Each structure stands twice: as C-alpha cells, then as structure tokens.
Structure 1
Amino acid sequence: MGLSERQKMSAGEWYCCFDPELDALRWQAREAVHAHNTMPPSQRGNLAPALSLLFADIGKGAFIEAPFHCSYGINISLGRRVYMNAGCTILDSAGVRIGDGSMLGPGVHIYCAEHHKDPKLRGAGMEIARPVTIGASVWIGGGAILVGGVTIGDGAIIGAGAVVTKDVAPGATVVGNPARPVGAR
C-alpha cells in the first residue's frame, strides 16, 4: 500500500491537498484559530488552549497576537519568547521552526506549499511542501513574506515588506522583492 497524502506531504513529496485526512486537519486548525482570534485576551493568554494543543512545540513565553491564521498548526514549533504580532499567517504544510527570541511584525506570512506549475496538476490539487527555519533572535518586519525552503540565520533582520526566496545568512539584513542583503548593521 502506498503512502497517504499526509505522509507524502510530511516526506516532502508531491501530494494532493484535496484529501479527506488533510481536510479534517485543516478543519481542526480553523476551529483552533477561530477560538484564538475570538477569545478575550484575558482568557486567551499567550495562545488559546485549542491552538496550543495543535502546535508541535511551544517554548516558554511564546506569544501570538490575534488575529492569527495557520493551515494545520501541527507543523509549527515556537522557541522561547517568540513574539508574533497581529495578522501573521503560517501555511504550515511543512515544518516551520521559529527560534528563541525571534519577533515577527504584523502581517508576516510564511508559505510552505508550492503548487504544481502544470495547470492540470495544479487544478487537481498537487503541491509540495518545503520547510521554513527561522533562527534565534531574528527580527522579521511587518508584511514580509517567507516562501518554503528558506532558512533565516540567527540574528538576521528581514525588512518590512521583503519577499524572502533564498536563505539569509546569520546576522544579515535583507530588504526588497526579492529580498537582497544590505550593508552591515
């Protein structure tokens, strides 16, 4: 018997996103995200309980402002003291690891899925998932977009509105679309 679509997704192989198991996982995430986004802050705390149950790992002091959106939640790992400002979106069809002390500005988006380039296969729901790794003490400015397969090194800065399509070296600052390094800090 072959791999399930979820197993293919987890293995970084092409998979069909139109799958009952994946649909159920996305529905579970929608419910948890809704709870997080609609709970009074005094009840929600750093993360709504339903959302924190989904995540792969949550370090002490990690905090997610509302509104927030994720597609699965099960592939997200947050280090200690990670801060995500309002409006962040993580489409976590692959692993997303955010290191200790990293801060994401408002409206930061992380996209792990890449849809097939062939229109017929894309229309049939074929996609591949690539992980995103963010090191420790990274600052990601508001409105930045990180695509699947990138690694952001420790201490890096991603400028507001940058579109990150390639790895960013530790301590580097990148800006623009596509993101490119700028002078030393």
Structure 2
Amino acid sequence: MTDAHEEEVLARIAKGLVYTESEAAFQASRRRTDQIFAYNHTPPSEADRRRSLLVEILGSVGERTVLLPPFHAGFGSNVHIGDDFFGNVNLTFVDDVDIRIGDGVMIAPSVTLTTTGHPVHPSRRADFGRFSEPIVIEDKVWIGSNAVVLPGVRIGHGSVVGAGSVVSRDIPPMTVAVGTPCRVLRAITDEDLTTRAQGGTTRMRPTGSA
C-alpha cells in the first residue's frame, strides 16, 4: 500500500467513514498484543514490571494508575489514561481510534469501551467493514459493571454510568445516567455528599462496585 493510499484510509477513518480490515492492515505494527499478554500474566508482586509494560502498551498513562488484569485491547497504543485511574478486571478497549480517559476515573468489572461499529447492511461488512469514532471519558467519572460505551461518546466530568448500561450518546457532566439505551436519571447535587455517610441516607444504588 502506498503512502498516499494509507493517508487516504486514515482520512476516512478520521471522518468516521467505513473502512476494511485489509485497508487498515498497515496499522498492525501499532498493536501491543504481546505486551498485553505479558501484562495479564505478570504476578501481582511484580508491580514495577506491570508499570513498565503498561507504559509500553498505552499511548500515554498517568501516575498512580491501577489496571487489574486481565484487560484486553485491540491496539493498546490508542488508549490514553490520566492520573489516579482505577480499572477493574476484564476491561476491554476496542481502540481502533483514540480512547481518552481523564484523571480520577473509576471503571468497574467487565466494562467495554468500543470505538468501532459495523454497517447494518451485510454487504458493507465484507472484509470486516467497520467505522470508528473516538471515546472521551472526562475527569472523575465512575462507570459501573458490565456497561458498554459505544463509538463517539463523551462522558462528562464527574458523571456516574449505571451498571449494565449501554451508552450510545453523550452524557452531560455531573449526572447519573442508567439504562439501555443509557439516559440521564438525575443531576448529582450537594445532597449526594451525605449519602453513605454516618447518619446519611442512600437515594439509589446506580452502579456495581468499582
């Protein structure tokens, strides 16, 4: 494939247009599959080794990051994580394009962040035809167990996504959003400062454990 052809394919990907597996094959060198395998098989006692591998795998990674194995990623190199991140087991990144995660984000078990979908008509899925749009998760977001975040979604600062939700559209900052499809349930307010505290009350349980 010529440089001009590669640039044309990358331009189509950037616009969210359909491209095929063969057309995108030149990006294979950016996959970090061996390093991901090694990370998932590194003993918990080897924290420095895990950190070193994570720096090799991800496009960028902040300080005090916890990512419990196993995790899965198509590339790994298209994932960017900020400071004070906690990702529980079985986190899956379908990162054909960028997934950008801010500071202080918590993600519960078995969450999928997928930047890629496929056309509805089967003839357009030949050669694994697909489209990709980036995902952005802003600072201090909490995503509950088994949630799925779909291509092109932005989740706003401080928001909570309920367990089992399918997030197909943007979530505003400082809101609780739940369901399939995921919809805003309510705003997060100062009243929430007292929930789960001594003498406080619990209004709802929107997510699974982180």
Tell whether the structures are fold-level matches, with TM greater than 0.5. yes
SS in 2 for 1:97: strand
Is 1:9 matched up with 2:13?
yes
Q: 2:173 aligns with which of 167, 170, 173?
A: 170
Q: 2:68 aligns with which of 45, 65, 69?
A: 65
Contact 2:138 2:155 in 1 (8 A): yes
- Range with greater deviation from structure 2 (102-111 or 10-19): 10-19
Contact 1:161 1:176 in 2 (8 A): yes
Structure 1 outlier segments of 4+, above 6 Å: none
Which runs of 5 or more residues in structure 2 are unaligned? 189-210
Overall identity of the aligned pairs, in %: 30
Whichever residue aligns with residue 20 of structure 1, its letter is A
SS in 2 for 1:167: coil
- Residue 14 of structure 1: CA displacement? 2.6
Which runs of 5 or more residues in structure 1 are unaligned? none
- Matched residue, 1:126: 129
Whole-angstrom CA distance in 2 between matches of 1:106 and 1:86: 5
SS in 1 for 2:45: helix
Structure with the bigger percentage of strand: 1
- Residue 117 of structure 1: CA displacement? 2.2
Greater C-alpha radius of gyration: 2
- Residue 6 of structure 1: CA displacement? 5.2
- Matched residue, 1:22: 27
CA deviation map 1:121-143 (0-9, x unaligned): 20222211100000100000011
Q: 1:35 to 1:44 in 2, by over 3 A?
A: farther
- Residue 51 of structure 1: CA displacement? 3.5
Contact 1:46 1:61 in 2 (8 A): no
CA-atom RMSD, angstroms? 1.9
Whole-angstrom CA distance in 2 between matches of 1:12 and 1:162: 24
- Residue 116 of structure 1: CA displacement? 2.2
Contact 2:42 2:50 in 1 (8 A): no
Contact 1:156 1:173 in 2 (8 A): yes
Whole-angstrom CA distance in 2 between matches of 1:123 and 1:22: 19
